[in-house]
Amino acid sequence: MINHNYYNLDKITEPIIKAKPEIRSIVEEVLQLEKDRLSQKNIRYINDDILKIIKQNIQ
């Protein structure tokens, strides 16, 4: 049985929700990238893609 107090999703997502729009965009894009890579089983060179996402969002 899952202890719902331990897995409170509001506490997990709160920093993302309260973040500035630029930060939230970076997090969402990186999460999508990771999700796409996991489904492809291709996790090579992900750091370069993450860096590209960050640079695009801070300009």
Domain ranges of the chain: 21-58
pLDDT at position 2:
56
Q: Which tokens go with 15?
A: 């920093």
> Does an H or E element contain 33, and which?
helix 21-40
User: Do 30 and 55 touch, CB atoms closer than 8 A?
Assistant: no
Residues 6+ apart with CB under 8 A from 27: 16, 19
pLDDT at position 12:
80
pLDDT in tens, 23-59: 999 999 999 998 888 877 766 788 999 999 999 998 8
User: Do 42 and 53 touch, CB atoms closer than 8 A?
Assistant: no
CA 32, 25, 6, 10 dihedral sign is negative
Provide the whole-model pTM: 0.71
